Structure 1
Amino acid sequence: MKNSKYLPLLATFVVFVLGYVICISVFPNMLSTRVAGNLLTDNAFLGITAVGMTFVILSGGIDLSVGSVIAFTGVFLSVILRDTSIHPLAAFAIVLVLTTAFGAAMGGVIFFLDMPPFIVTLAGMFLARGISYLLTTESVPITHPFYSTLQEIYIRMPGGGRLTLIAMIMLAVFALGIILAQRTRFGTYVYALGGNLTSAQLMGVPVAKTTIGIYALSGFLAGLSGIVFSLYTSAGYSLAAVGVELDAIAAVVIGGTLLTGGYGFVAGTFLGICIQGLIQTYIVFDGTLSSWWTKIVIGLLLFGFIALQRGLMWMSERSARNMRHASAAAQASGA
């Protein structure tokens, strides 16, 4: 498995390159910085969410609450900015503390009560969405001047494209996520948990601290995604981001992360986000295809990557069996 762990990432890269070549061969205008800038901006909130989901899946878990947390964040910000004189930066800080604590609480329940992450985060999904409904059931516009200021921040790229603030935030989150996963002790612990929980405990991995940290990180990034989404839409709505958790999981799996945990890369998730954005952009350029084709193509890709993952697991198990048999034969001949 060690020698083939980069294969899913390579497959994702090949799919993206081939898809992009096909797109620009049909619609040459897609080869522009304008399209690239729009793709990054439109998928910024999803990309940030997917980084947190990558860490959760790498650890062998799942987080179904992220879409509801995004909705809660947007509703919380829109209501508090409408009804109080608090500055948006202070509101951002408050909501990030709340979402991080929410994620940490779910991680604590998962570890200390030995509950399946699916059940705990499903409960968290209903809880966060329900609180959003309690705050308001209407779409609340955000008209604070500071939002307009943030929305006007961008870097002009060659060719006239704009790298907006929220796109820059997403790219920064991916860069920091890559460093956290590959260059820190926390990242090593995450991979260890996903690889084998018992072995991780025997190696002295602080399982409780790491589990809580993983879900706290997911909650923090879901809150940050909610802030980005509020900047993107200039509103808060309790029904927003329905199904985003599934889109994030799809991006992570298409990016080459194994659903069983232990193997995967944050960079692969970025490619998964780009593939989803590429499909959506192609449909927009075509103009005759239904937006539901995005779901159909992503579903087919998911089937393909899950089959690839299963094949790699089968190869790994077969290799391990062969090594055990060879070792046993060597010991028998030596005796």
Structure 2
Amino acid sequence: MAETARAASRRGGGIVSTLAPERAPRSEQPAPRRSASRPALVERVRDVFTSPKSGPVLVTAILFVAVFAVGGVRYPAFLSGQVFLNLFVDNAYLIVLAVGMTFVILTGGIDLSVGAVVALSGMIAASLLQSGWSPGVVIPLILVITSVLGLLVGLMIHVFEVQPFIATLAAMFLARGLCYVISQNSISITEPTFVALAVTRIPLGGGLSITPSVVIVLVVIAVAVWVLHFTRFGRTVYAIGGGEHSGMLMGLPVARTKVIVYVISGFCSGLAGVLFTFYTLSGYPLSAIGTELDAIAAVVIGGTLLTGGFGFVLGSVLGVLVLGIIQTIITFEGTLSSWWTRIFIGGLLLVFIILQKVLTSRRR
């Protein structure tokens, strides 16, 4: 046995050496796991920011926080909680418009009629309330009328295969013309219940307060998020934006969904018109001109692709808040014209469209 061990030792370095694993040189040893996890984390963060789905939304959130911080540094009272809540109070109607517009743009469509429908809702409300109608009848009637108008637009797009741009442009002229049929002058709203709803403040404690319009907005946002992310209808909306023909091949109710999307937009436009009359307590044929462009800009800045398929309701809300915070800073400045808001909106819109184009091209 000893002789065998000595022979093995002479041939291969001994039995122990043949069974023991070879130790790699120090330079060839694997790197620690911690150093390998850092590039993986960086890669994951980069994927999130370069994703066409989540990247623009995160950029919008960072932009909002940055602008809000700049305002707080420049103006001592800017960082108060009431300034933040006033963004919802002053832009309640625009948030509701942006929610409805998000549904439309997610399918790859567009709705140019929402501003005119807001004005029409205000004119209907003011004229009927002046005639002695109850707000409990007027408000539901407005929502039904605007939803029917959205239904007609959706049917025009689906049945007659009219481009959404043309169909909603026709609806815009129709709604604006009906405003002048009702009255060519401004109509004040003095109905007690309506006025009480307009001026009521809901205390939150600490000197903070909101209006009933903000409560309605929060409900609309919650319902829209649930519909888009937790229902079959919402999944169909995203599928249409990703590829309408593919959705049809999968057996999805594409036609019905496209029509309902414009009904939702019409409903949101009518509700936004009611909230706008709470804010102004009047109806005027020329009100809300260009509001449809503000809603589209907010949705795009919030990360929704104009071609459809990608986007979030909360992103659109962030887009509205960005526009609102810019307007608030200009108001605090006091020396700048309100037209600077349009200049900043135009610049942001251009930047975010380019950002979307870059992100989607990288994914291809």
TM-score between both structures, scaled by the size of structure 2:
0.85
Q: Distance in 1 between matches of 2:129 and 2:209?
A: 28
Please, which of 54, 61, 84 is the counterpart of residue 36 of structure 1?
A: 84
Paired residues of 1:48 and 1:170 also in contact (CA < 8 A): yes
Matches within 5 A, 1:269-284: 269-284=316-331
Aligned to 1:192: 239
Aligned to 2:149: 102
Please, which of 329, 354, 361 is the counterpart of residue 307 of structure 1?
A: 354
Q: Deviation digits for residues 219-264 of structure 1, max 9, x if unmatched? A: 0000000000111111011111000000000000000000010000
Percent of paired sites with the same residue: 48
Aligned to 2:114: 66
Paired residues of 2:189 and 2:195 also in contact (CA < 8 A): no
Residue 56 of structure 2 aligns to a residue whose secondary structure is helix
Aligned to 1:167: 214
Matches within 5 A, 1:243-322: 243-317=290-364
Residue 202 of structure 2 aligns to a residue whose secondary structure is strand
Q: Deviation digits for residues 51-106 of structure 1, max 9, x if unmatched? A: 000010001000000000000000011111112x3211101111110100100110
Q: Deviation digits for residues 168-194 of structure 1, max 9, x if unmatched? A: 211221121111111111111110111
Please, which of 203, 206, 210 is the counterpart of residue 253 of structure 2?
A: 206
Amino acid at match of 1:33: G
Q: Distance in 2 between matches of 1:124 and 1:152?
A: 32
Q: Deviation digits for residues 7-66 of structure 1, max 9, x if unmatched? A: 111111111111111110101211112212322111011110010000100010000000
Structure 2 gap segments, 5+ residues each: 1-46
Residue 157 of structure 1 aligns to a residue whose secondary structure is strand
Determine which structure has greater relative contact order: mean sequence separation of CA pairs < 8 Å that are 6+ residues apart, divided by chain length.
1
Q: Deviation digits for residues 257-276 of structure 1, max 9, x if unmatched? A: 00010000000001101101
Amino acid at match of 2:261: I
Check if 1:23 corresponds to 2:71.
yes
Larger Rg: 2
Aligned to 2:61: 13
| TM-aligned CA deviation for residue 130 of structure 1 | 0.3
Structure 1 gap segments, 5+ residues each: 318-335
Q: Distance in 1 between matches of 2:81 and 2:216?
A: 18
Q: Distance in 2 between matches of 1:188 and 1:28?
A: 45
Q: Distance in 2 between matches of 1:114 and 1:28?
A: 55
Q: Distance in 2 between matches of 1:56 and 1:291?
A: 29
Runs of 4+ in 1 over 2 A off after TM superposition: 151-155
Aligned to 1:121: 168
Check if 1:147 corresponds to 2:229.
no
Aligned to 1:130: 177
Aligned to 1:329: none
| TM-aligned CA deviation for residue 162 of structure 1 | 1.6
Check if 1:236 corresponds to 2:283.
yes
- How many pairs align? 316
Amino acid at match of 1:133: Y
TM-score between both structures, scaled by the size of structure 1:
0.92
